[in-house]
Amino acid sequence: MNYPQTLKKAKTLLTQKHHAQAVQTAASALEHLLVELYNQLLGQSPPPRQKELIEAQEKVGGGQPLNKLTLGKLVNVYRASKAYEDLQNTLGLTLTFLNVHALGPLVDIRNRAVHEGQEPDPAEAAYIVNQVELILRETGRLPAAAPAPAAPEELRPWWHIAIPHRDIREGRLDLRVFAVDLAQVIEGQAVPEYKDPDTFFRRTFLTRGLRSTLKGVLRRLAGRDDGVAITQMATVFGGGKTHTLLALYHMVAHGAQVAYLEPVEQLLAEAGLDAVPAARVAAVDCAQISPSQPRQVSGTSEVPLTLHTLWGEIAYRLAGVEGYEIVRQSDQERVPPGSEVLGKLFQATGPALILIDETLSYITKASGIPVGKGYLSDQAQEFLLELTRAVNADDDVALVLTMTPAPRSRSVKRPNGPPRR
C-alpha cells in the first residue's frame, strides 16, 4: 500500500466533509499496517514464538488469513498473541500511538461507520485520520514531520540593529551635510564631510557611474589615448552632479592625501594607473559668480587683479597671475579668448582639470549684461565652444561641466529686447 497517498486521500475526504469515507480510508491503512507488521514478526521471531503467533491468529481469525480479517479481529489477534511487546523488542520500534489496548474507540467508530452506516461526527473522523497518521509516522511508513517553525524573534528597535551615526546619537546633526556647495569646499568653509578629502572618500560610495567618470578623467590627465576629454552632466537638482565634481576635485587636488584609501586604490587599479596624475585644478561654481560684479583677487603687487568673466576666473584659478595674464585682454574686454590663446594657457599649466558647476546659472545671469551689440551670455557660450576645442586639442586636459536644465516655460528678459527662450 502507498501509505502517503492513502493518508492524503483520507485528509481530502475529511476536508470535503465525507467523514464516513475518510474514516474507512484511514482505517484500511491501519489494517494493512497491522498485517504487515505481524508478518514481519513471523519472519523474525524464533520458531517457538512463531508457533505462538500462528496459534493466536488461527484462534481469533478462525483459520482465515490475516489480510481477510477486519480491523477489530486484527486488534484482537495482537492482544491474544501479546505481539505488541514484540513490535518493540523484535522489530525495534519505539511506539507511543500504536497501542492495541487503546485502539478500542478507533475500532468502534470505524465499525459504526462501515457496518451500521452511522455517519461519524467531524471530531470523530478527524480523530481517526490524525491517529492513523501518527501511527504510520512512528512505524516509519511516513516521513517524519517537518520541525515546527521557530517562534518569531521579538522585533527589536531598528536603532539596535542599525546604529545611527554619532552626530545623530549626540543630537548635533548639521543639515548642511545634505547640501554640497562646491564654492564652500574650495574656500575651506564647508562641513568636514565635504571639505576634508579623507573624510569625503570614506563616506562616499563610488557608484558605477561615478567610478566610470573618475577613471575616464584620470586617464585623460595621464595622457592615455582612451581618456575622456569632456564630460557634461545635465540632471535635475539632487542628481549627484556637484558630488561628482567634488570627487574629481579632491582626487586630483589632494591625490597624495587619499591615495592610500582602499576605494581610491581600487579605482586606480581599474584605471590602470599607479598614482593619481599630477595636474592643476580650476573649480568654478557659477552659482556663486556675479558677472555684473567683477571680483578682486591678489595680484603680483599691492594692486589687486580684477576678474570680469568666467574665462578670467578659470585662467586665474589654473595658473594664478601668470595664467590670467594670458587672457587679461579678453577678460577686460569681456570677449572670449580663442582656442589658440587657451592652448597657450594649457601649455603654461601642463596637465589640467577644469570643473564648472551650474554652467547655465552663469549664462542666465550674463544675459542681462550688454557687451558690444550683444550680451555677455552670447560671449560665454562662444567661450565654452572655444574651450571645448582647446581641451580636445590637448592630450592631458579634461573639462567637466554641469548644468541643471531650466523649465521649458522659463524665459530670460533682456534690456530693450524680446525675451530669449
Which range among 14-18, 42-46, 166-170, 210-214 has the greatest average pLDDT?
210-214
Give the total number of structural domains in the chain.
2
Same domain, 112 and 227: no
pLDDT at residue 332, as a whole number: 94
The residue segments making up the domain with residue 299 are: 175-403
Give mean pLDDT, residues 99-125.
82
- As a whole number of angstroms, the distance between CA 3 and CA 137 comes to 10
Same domain, 115 and 182: no
- For the stretch 78-95, pLDDT in tens is 888 888 788 888 888 888
Same domain, 25 and 134: yes
Same domain, 230 and 276: yes
- For the stretch 310-357, pLDDT in tens is 999 999 999 999 999 999 999 999 999 999 999 999 999 999 999 999
pLDDT at 66 over 90: no
Same domain, 207 and 338: yes
pLDDT at residue 413, as a whole number: 47
- As a whole number of angstroms, the distance between CA 411 and CA 367 comes to 11
Same domain, 212 and 300: yes
Same domain, 120 and 214: no
195 assigned to some structural domain: yes
In terms of C-beta density within 10 A (0-12 exposed, 13-18 middle, 19 or more buried), how is residue 290 classed?
Answer: exposed
pLDDT at 238 over 80: no
Same domain, 213 and 360: yes
pLDDT at residue 147, as a whole number: 66
160 assigned to some structural domain: no
111 assigned to some structural domain: yes
pLDDT at residue 412, as a whole number: 46
Same domain, 87 and 204: no
Q: How many CA atoms lie within 13 A of 338 on its CB side?
A: 1
Query: Model confidence at 418, in pLDDT bands (50, 70, 90)?
Result: very low
Give mean pLDDT, residues 164-174.
73
pLDDT at residue 262, as a whole number: 87
pLDDT at 19 over 50: yes
- As a whole number of angstroms, the distance between CA 81 and CA 102 comes to 16
pLDDT at residue 239, as a whole number: 58
CATH number reported for the structural domain that contains residue 212 in this entry: 3.40.50
244 assigned to some structural domain: yes
145 assigned to some structural domain: no
> What are the C-alpha distances in Å from 184 to residues 86, 204, 286, 400?
90, 18, 12, 19
Note whether 310 and 287 are within 8 A (CB).
no
Domain boundary among 112, 138, 164: 138
155 assigned to some structural domain: no
Average pLDDT along the chain: 86
Same domain, 109 and 57: yes
Domain boundary among 89, 118, 138: 138
pLDDT at 411 over 60: no
- The pTM of this model reads 0.58
Domain boundary among 138, 164, 184: 138
Same domain, 186 and 111: no
Of the ranges 32-46, 170-184, 189-203, which one carries the lowest mean pLDDT score? 170-184
Same domain, 130 and 11: yes
Give mean pLDDT, residues 104-128.
84
12 assigned to some structural domain: yes
- As a whole number of angstroms, the distance between CA 402 and CA 388 comes to 14
pLDDT at 386 over 90: yes
- For the stretch 175-199, pLDDT in tens is 656 667 888 888 888 888 888 999 8
408 assigned to some structural domain: no
Q: Which of 276, 261, 289, 278 is nearest to 186 (CA)?
A: 289
Note whether 277 and 222 are within 8 A (CB).
yes
Of the ranges 30-34, 147-151, 212-216, 305-309, which one carries the lowest mean pLDDT score? 147-151
